[in-house]
Amino acid sequence: MSATLNAAVATAAAATVDPACAEPLAVLGRDVTVPLVTGGEVTYAALDYAASAPALQRVWDDVAAYAPYYGSVHRGAGYLSQLSTDLFEQSRVTVAEFLDCRPADQVVFTRSTTDSLNLLAAVLPAGCQVFVFETEHHASLLPWVDAQVTYLNAPRTPAEAVATLERALADRDPYGPALVCVTGASNVTGELWPVKELAAAAHAHGARIVLDAAQLAPHHRVSVQELDVDWVAFSGHKLYAPFGSGVLAGRADWLQEAQPYLAGGGASRKVARREDGGVDVEWHTTAARHEAGSPNVIGVYSIASACKALTEAGFENLVAREQHLIAKVRSGLAEVPAVRILSLFGDDAPRVGVISFVVDGWNSSHFAAALSAEYGIGVRDGLFCAHPLVRTLLGSEPQAQGECGAPEAAPGERSLNAIRVSFGAGTPDEHVERFVRAVRELVADGAKWQYRTEEGRCVSAVSLQGARR
């Protein structure tokens, strides 16, 4: 793990404030109740933060206060348009400060991490070589279709990750452009990757590096300058900011030299007809070059609001409290012999609040359905858009079919899937305590309800509407 992130975890662990006494940040949905198939209702335990985190109350309040003043950005002379433009551009400054960008870096607003990495893939120089570990989320594994891609095998230690990359880079064409793509924290195991060391290896071999911070930015401070990455990408909806916006921030040259990601209004600076009937276009050289169309002002502002809220809360405090929750979950699961936690780097690897596991005798879809229907706990099951990684971690172990819910497997393949629990700044202790208790009870006593397979998913045999009656 990078020295920067390692120091952050160590500092948080040594914090003088008792994390068990710290209050979670206020998020929407914290008081929502859901019906149980066994009768009654319970406060919903949202433990699927790695997919989409609930919106911070602060973000929602900021957006609600702005909404009456919403206007068209960059093109309007009216007061509301000018106000919205100022808000949009100030949000860009806020994000740059949140990421500790270099003065010349550009912050481009996109739809998501996936969109950000596809944008970067679209602007790669001709002949660019891309190096990516098979352990990546599909958002950072798949966009490089027009480049020469080298997929690196899953490492089993951070040091092996660095050594694997160095060997691959040493064998590349030393005269052409190259890019390394790496996650900051795994969306499957939660483990932190040695970003700073990988960046140093990339730069030593004349390559650039992009950091997929989708799972890192909501949990740890991310400094572009300290990690020495060339670009960073993340999504608002994982950073407690809904409304479908993302960020690609970093070096401007490849972005400025490439054709716009999307052609249209906003990206163009000047358009003129030619005598031959065609058009000549002069494109912007600012971030607007890749932000064609009317931008998602509310989504962008929500990201800026979340950046401010997390910064003001203090990542040291947030990390300390999260480590407290991680310890609760991991120690609780360790007491259940049927449970195996998935890991690349081992039990002692620093991690964020993302934990995947399998349960002997259970299909993961069936187990997740029982957690939801009988305990009001929302987790995720499957391969988590990281199929090569999960298959590597589960490759030698067949999945029990259970009563239902085993996803269709290809001919000759076993059905493989896992359960993922994830949490963050808005998670109260009771949610993870209920989760651990539910795991123990399901393993010991089995499900209390009947389940069936419906369109490849395991669902309760009685509808939730029926359960309310």
Q: Which sequence positions are flagged as catalytic?
A: 385
250 HSE (CA, 13 A, CB side) = 24
Q: Which of 190, 183, 186, 189 is nearest to 209 (CA)?
A: 183
CA 299 vs CA 1, 50, 263, 295: distances in Å? 32, 19, 21, 9
- Specify the 3-state DSSP secondary structure of 209: strand
Q: Which residues contact 381 (CB under 8 A, 6 or more apart)?
A: 364, 365, 367, 368, 417, 418, 419, 420
**Positive or negative torsion for Cα 138, 140, 143, 144:** negative
- Specify the 3-state DSSP secondary structure of 380: strand
**How far apart are the C-alpha atoms of 37 and 41, rounded to whole Å?**
9
Q: Which of 450, 437, 419, 446 is nearest to 48 (CA)?
A: 419
Q: Which residues contact 287 (CB under 8 A, 6 or more apart)?
A: 92, 106, 107, 108, 109, 255
**How far apart are the C-alpha atoms of 423 and 9, rounded to whole Å?**
17
Report which DSSP code applies to 398.
Answer: P
Q: Which residues contact 313 (CB under 8 A, 6 or more apart)?
A: 25, 425
Label residue 341 exposed, middle or buried (CB < 10 Å: 0-12, 13-18, 19+).
middle
Count of C-beta atoms within a 10 Å radius of residue 2: 22
**How far apart are the C-alpha atoms of 174 and 158, rounded to whole Å?**
25
**How far apart are the C-alpha atoms of 141 and 462, rounded to whole Å?**
39
- Specify the 3-state DSSP secondary structure of 107: strand
